[in-house]
């Protein structure tokens, strides 16, 4: 028997207000507990190669050290073999020919390892030479 004939059945409905309240509380919790970290990067200024010629007339001795991509070294176009940095230092002394502080120009291949260049710089430091420079390629050629 159906005693509620004339009465319409109520459709069940979902009350959205409590669900919105819960979502807002979760959103506030996430915003408060989230940490925003700024990624820091090194700010460096890379050297620019210019087409200006340097005046080397004051120093009579310039030692050209070339480092190939394979790690071979030449001093003034003469290939050298060395076992330790001290051997390379002695080769620099020999190339300096009694000059107290020659200019050492390092020409390293773009694919040469950084360690190869640092080895030349360390040998120059051990020899007491503080004038070290590098060659760079510009649009007009090599400087």
Q: For 40-86, how does the pLDDT look when each residue is reduced to its tens digit (9 = 90+)?
A: 444 434 445 565 555 555 546 899 898 888 888 989 888 888 889 99
Count of structural domains, the chain: 1
Write out the residue range of the structural domain in which residue 94 sits: 62-142
Task: Tell me the CB-side half-sphere exposure of residue 143, using CA atoms within 13 A.
Answer: 13
Domain presence at residue 81: yes
Place of tokens 């009694």: 98
From residue 96, alpha-carbon distances to 7, 9, 50, 51, 130 in Å are 112, 106, 27, 27, 13
pTM value? 0.56
Which residues touch 113 (CB under 8 Å, ≥6 apart)?
71
Nearest residue to 82 (alpha-carbon basis) of 116, 38, 41: 116
Say which CATH number the domain at 126 has.
3.30.420.270
């Amino acid at each position: 028997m159906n005693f509620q004939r004339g009465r319409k059945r109520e459709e069940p409905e979902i009350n959205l207000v409590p669900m919105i309240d819960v979502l807002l509380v979760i959103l506030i919790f996430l915003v408060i507990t989230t940490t925003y970290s700024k990624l820091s990067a090194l700010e460096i200024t890379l050297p620019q190669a210019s087409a200006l010629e340097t005046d080397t007339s004051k120093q009579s001795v310039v030692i050209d050290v070339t480092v190939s991509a394979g790690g071979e070294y030449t001093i003034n176009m003469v290939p050298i073999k060395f076992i330790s940095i001290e051997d390379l230092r002695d080769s620099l002394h020999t190339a300096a020919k009694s000059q107290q502080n020659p200019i050492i120009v390092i020409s390293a291949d773009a694919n040469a390892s950084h360690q190869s260049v640092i080895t030349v710089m360390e040998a120059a430091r051990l020899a007491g030479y503080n004038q070290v420079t590098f060659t760079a390629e510009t649009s007009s050629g090599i400087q």
